[in-house]
Amino acid sequence: MKAAIFDLDGTLVDSAPDIAWGINRMLAAYGLPPQDIPVVEQFIGEGATVLVAKVYAHIGERVDEARVERDTGLYLDYYRSRPVADSTLYADAASALPALRRAGVRLGVCTNKIQSLAETVLAHFELMQWIEVVVGSDTTPYRKPHPAPLLHALAHFGIAATDAVFIGDTAIDYECAVAAEVSCRIVDWGLGPALNLPERTRLRRFADLVPVDASRA
């Protein structure tokens, strides 16, 4: 393994509380009822526009495409104002990422969050110093599960798909990895357990990615 590429929301960072806060501020602007964090969390992963559209569908609010686009901008304005107030790191991310770098594994992030927002979140948790490339929803013309974002990260590293692993938490991540012909691991938290994927794809802690020789050093 020459590189490990991570999804962000639901994989490295539990950002659902802050995303839900932004969504609820958007809803409040129209006098609509707030949604609990678990409700919003199930719609995270396909980008901001899909998130807004699915929240509206969930509450039975009929909106057209133009309204969704406009309100996505409203949601993002709120979310940008406090993207990491209540977010937390998952599992052992804080210690495992530097351990991976020390072992010579190059690190990247491939997310359907806007790249600048992803970098803001990663910087808050002091992870940017370990991460070489961040591919967001606006970095390439495509979003996951299209393989283009993951292939973009591989091209940055200059490595073959067989030399990398992609770590995520949703079916979108799994489908993206399969399409890019990259090995995939699905974390054992967030939405991951609900996927019922084969045991070999499960990841119980990030330290399990550290090469054995390096972890014993």
The fold of 16-81 is DNA polymerase; domain 1 (1.10.150)
Per-residue pLDDT of the chain (217 residues; tens, 9 = 90+): 999 999 999 999 999 999 999 999 999 999 999 999 999 999 999 999 999 999 999 999 999 999 999 999 999 999 999 999 999 999 999 999 999 999 999 999 999 999 999 999 999 999 999 999 999 999 999 999 999 999 999 999 999 999 999 999 999 999 999 999 999 999 999 778 888 888 889 999 999 999 876 544 4
Per-residue model confidence (pLDDT) at position 184: 96
Per-residue exposure over 16-40, b if at least 16 CB sit within 10 Å of its own CB, e if not: bebbbbbbbbbbeeeeeeebebeeb
Q: Are the beta carbons of 183 and 202 closer than 8 angstroms? A: no
Per-residue model confidence (pLDDT) at position 214: 54
Give the number of other Cβ atoms within 10 Å of residue 202's Cβ: 15
190 three-class SS: coil
Q: Where are the beta strands (DSSP E) in 143-214?
A: 164-168, 183-187, 202-203
Q: What is the CATH number of domain 3-14+87-216?
A: 3.40.50.1000
- Taking the complete model, does pTM exceed 0.85, yes or no? yes
DSSP category for residue 15: -
Domain residue limits, the chain: 3-14+87-216, 16-81
User: What does the alpha-carbon distance between residue 140 and residue 120 come to, in Å, rounded to a whole number?
Assistant: 19
Instruction: Evaluate whether 3-14+87-216 and 16-81 have a shared fold.
Output: no
Radius of gyration of the chain (CA): 17
Per-residue model confidence (pLDDT) at position 216: 45
Which sequence positions are flagged as catalytic? 7
